[in-house]
Amino acid sequence: MFRTASVQLVGIFLVFGFGSGNAAPPTATKTDAIENQKFSGVISGRVVDRSETPVSRAKIVLYKYRNPSQRFGHMVPQQTPTITDVDGGFRFENLENGYYFVEIKKTEFATTLCNRTIDDGHANSRTDILLKPSAEVTIELTDETGKPVVGARVREIRQRGANGENYLTQMWLRDLGIEIGTSDNQGRLTLPPFPVGDILKVTIDHQNLAPVRIDDLKIAKGESTKAVMKPGVVIRLRRAPTKNPAEQISSAVIDFRHTEFQRPSSIRLYEIQFDQNGTSQVTVEPGDYDFLRLEHEDFYLTPSISEETAKSERLKIEPGKGVEFTFEVRRKVIARGRVINSDTGLPVKGESLLGEILGTRSDVVTPDSKWSFTGWGETDENGEYSLPIAAGNARVTFHGEKLITDLEHVDFVASDDGTTEIPEVRVRSLPVIRGSVVDPDGRPVSKAVVRFRGKTQYGLHMANPVLADDQGRFELTANFVPVDPVSRKRSFEQYIAAFDPYRPLAAKTEIRIDTSEPVVLKLEPHPFGWPLTEFDVEFSDWQRGNALPEVARKNDEITLKGRPALELDGIGWINSEKLNLADLKGKYVLLDFWFIGCGPCHADFPSMTMAHELYKDKGLVVIGIHNNSSDLDAVRKHVKEIGLPFPIVVDQPDGRTISIYQKHGIANGYPSYVLIDPQGNVVLDDRTIPHPTLRGYKLEIVRKFLFDPKKEIGNE
């Protein structure tokens, strides 16, 4: 029922924090390995001025995001530029799936950018594009002593206006021909002309100072603002010496993430240049970082700290202590393999495999980080796949859904000529776990919530629950086999937990997810909060209510906790007449911020729907808030296709509702959740209030607040 391929592309990217509106497309995902299918897609529209008069003779240039590296890409001009007709209309046809920028230029107006996504031949777009006059804004930069900062530069711009939102990286600014100079001797940095009234979020960096971000910069004639740049830490990035001229690359793209991803020191889609000695540098603020990778279209640069290795190791960047990293350069080649289902002997189609290469340097962060991600492969109808790799020791890991391999990894040695055949991968189905839920008297419990719970922080706790039927029966299948973060071995021993949605009854039992032994869960009296305290081993520090002091101070300044929730000013509602939060007092309200292209949002809809169905008559209202990346009709069609039953509001074209919430740390990434109490005040959100997250524990949290609201979460 839910979209699984093209819609996941943007969503996986956004889970790292690129949040607002029409954000950037993804980098590495499983579905990137699928070759872009051809469709007769169309991007069309009408260009008007502020009086809604059609603008003819405007030049329209279409750019498409292309990422042959699977990790990053450029905006590339498509087809021949066109000119709007007498009605302001334009049209581009025969387009493939993907992410596009439409650039509109017309004398007397600001150059305007709108992004569009074609999915299965259909573009999510608004009909009219509004042209407005332009204005330049100046930023005055000083250091902490008040001295002007010379040579500062813009690293990225997030733009919000009547035509939606755009995310403009350093690489894309260059691709689109948007030239921005550096700050002058007086520390003045003048931005290029933007449409009057648009709102910018600008990140500025400097070779010796920590990056700074300017929020809510409104474009208006004569407008200026000031910013202070603080001391930073220099990170030197060195290309390992090599005698091969081809490996003496001159540039690479850096992916460097602060543990608080929204910090201006998180760097994405940024191309660094190596000098004649093979050295480059970036300057960031002190703090903890958990992801570092350099990328190139034709070569791998190792080692790296990936999402996996970051779980056990962080990069601590300390004040006054510069850090240097050396990277080997290794040419990309292709290896090929095949996946067979051992149960049936048939090829396995449409499943993913992850490739890794073993580094040869010893100066890596952890032993596990010797293995570096290279790319994904996707099996075809014959079970065959190919994936990028580098010559030397390599391995692939199968990532199919509800399937398991006998071996955790398949190891092999890749040759440098692209002829490597990977040993065959054999998989079998994970068994269905069947069972029943009964009450203390042995009677079946219908609508009992049953779900996996783990023994570590990285278990199956994010898997969607199921409801027991009228006879108390249920079926569960693990989507994957968790890996123990200490031993790095697969962990087959997990828990299944069950609870009555309306009574203080719950149970747990230990199972093996690779066997099919029948399970009986006999509910016993437990406080309503028991499911939130019994499994705290799978909680992060944040979920246990602990935040780093610096993070806590920042969140205390912006959080809405204990304050009235902000009203929802949307362009229209779906599945409901217009709802005002003020009119919903007396009920709990669960807000879910999402958009059509968000894979993680769609993956969580079953539990959102379950919350709606279980508690809509018990005092809960679920509301989905779609951002401004698609118009009302497109969202209405999508909601109908996937069967969402709860009310949905679509933000205004200028993104005003989500923008206001973002000022309070909410909806900076998707999905994002807020729980509002019967007095209309915010109780919880996953971004500024440490607690078991609504994303993973919404059913348990809602149940506790509805039936035991006097106690705090986690304090039974």
CA gyration radius, the chain: 26
Q: How far apart are CA 203 and CA 285, in angstroms?
A: 13
Q: What is the predicted pLDDT for the residue at 304?
A: 77
Angle at 222 between CA 217 and CA 225, to 5 degrees: 40
Q: How far lies 66's CA from each of 36, 71, 392, 622, in Å?
A: 10, 10, 29, 38
The β-bridge partners of 651 are: 570
Contacts of 232 (CB under 8 A, 6+ apart): 206, 208, 209, 210, 211, 265, 283, 284, 285, 286
The mean pLDDT value for 94-105 works out to: 92
Query: In which band, very low, low, confident or very high, does the pLDDT at 34 lie, cut at 50, 70 and 90?
Result: very low
pLDDT of residue 243: 85
Q: How confident is the model at residue 122 (pLDDT cuts 50, 70, 90)?
A: low
Select from 230, 240, 323 the least CA-distant residue to 282.
323
**Is the predicted pLDDT of residue 11 greater than 50, yes or no?**
no
pTM for the complete prediction? 0.79
Dump pLDDT digits (tens) for 197-225: 999 999 999 999 999 999 889 999 989 99
DSSP string, 262-281: TSTT-EEEEEEE--TTSEEE
The angle, 0 to 180 degrees and rounded to 10, between the axes of the packed helices 6-14 and 599-615 is 90
Tens of pLDDT, residue by residue over 240-272, are 998 888 889 999 999 999 988 888 999 999 999
pLDDT at residue 362, rounded to an integer: 43
Whether the pLDDT of residue 120 is over 50: the answer is yes
Residue with more model confidence, 20 or 95: 95
The band of 539, judged by pLDDT with boundaries at 50, 70 and 90, is confident
Cβ(676)–Cβ(581) below 8 Å: yes
Q: b/e string for 647-678 if b means 16 or more Cβ within 10 A?
A: bbbbbbbbbbbbbebbebbbbbbbbbbbbbbe
Cα 228 to its chain centre, rounded Å, is 30
Quick one: DSSP state of residue 31?
A: G
Report percent pLDDT > 70 for the chain.
89
Would you say residue 231 has pLDDT above 80? yes
Residue 369 has pLDDT above 60, yes or no: no
pLDDT 10s digits, 463-472: 899 999 999 9
* Out of 17-21, 261-265, 282-286, 557-561, least confident range: 17-21
**Closest CA relative to residue 468, chosen from 507, 510, 526, 430:** 507
Estimate to the nearest angstrom the gap between the alpha carbon of 322 and the chain centroid.
Answer: 30
Of 650, 646, 674, 671, residue with least CA distance to 588:
674
- Which segment of 30-34, 39-43, 171-175, 612-616 scores lowest on mean pLDDT? 30-34
Q: Tell me, what's the pLDDT at 28?
A: 38
Whether residue 645 has a cis bond before it, omega within 30° of 0: no
Q: Which two tokens stand for residue 568?
A: 């929802």
pLDDT of residue 302: 87
Q: What is the pLDDT of residues 686-695, one digit of tens each?
A: 989 999 999 9
User: Phi and psi for 707 in degrees, rounded to 5?
Assistant: -110, -10
Cα–Cα nearest to 304, from 365, 391, 388? 365
**Range 148-175 average pLDDT:** 94
Choose between 230 and 710: higher pLDDT: 230
CA atoms within 13 A on the CB side of 366: 18
Which of 289-298, 362-371, 524-533, 649-658 bottoms out in mean pLDDT, i.e. has the lowest?
362-371
User: Which pLDDT value is given to residue 543?
Assistant: 86
Cβ burial 138-161 (10 Å sphere, 16+ → b, else e): ebbbbbeeeeebeebebbbbbbbb
Interatomic CA distance for residues 346 and 383, integer angstroms: 8
pLDDT band at 314 (very low <50, low <70, confident <90, very high): low
> What dihedral angle (degrees, nearest 10) is formed by the CA atoms of 117, 122, 128, 129?
20
Q: Which of 355, 480, 472 is nearest to 425 (CA)?
A: 355
Q: Which of 49-63, 387-401, 609-623 has the lowest mean pLDDT?
A: 387-401
How confident is the model at residue 541, as a pLDDT? Answer: 82
Residue 310 pLDDT > 50, yes or no?
no
- Judge whether 426 and 379 are in contact, CB under 8 Å: no
> What percentage of the chain reaches a pLDDT higher than 90?
64
What is the mean predicted confidence (pLDDT) over 269-282?
Answer: 95
**Rounded distance between C-alpha atoms, residue 605 and residue 622, angstroms:** 11
Over residues 642-656, the pLDDT tens digits come to 999 999 999 998 888
Give the domains, in start order, of the chain with CATH numbers.
36-130 (2.60.40.10), 134-229 (2.60.40.1120), 233-428 (2.60.40.10), 433-538 (2.60.40.1120), 549-689 (3.40.30.10)
Residue 6 has pLDDT above 60, yes or no: no
Q: How far apart are CA 621 and CA 649, in angstroms?
A: 13
Three-state secondary structure call for residue 489: coil
What's the mean per-residue pLDDT of the chain? 87
Residue type present at position 146: G
For the chain, how many residues are written?
A: 716
Residue range 536-556: average pLDDT? 83
384/288: higher pLDDT: 384
Rounded to an integer, the average pLDDT of 452-458 is: 78
Q: What is the band of 359 on the pLDDT scale with cuts at 50, 70, 90?
A: confident
User: Cis omega before residue 303 (within 30°)?
Assistant: yes
Decide: helix, strand or coil at residue 320. Answer: coil
**Using an 8 Å Cβ cutoff, are 528 and 708 in contact?**
yes
Q: How far apart are CA 83 and CA 138, in angstroms?
A: 32
pLDDT at 633 over 80: yes
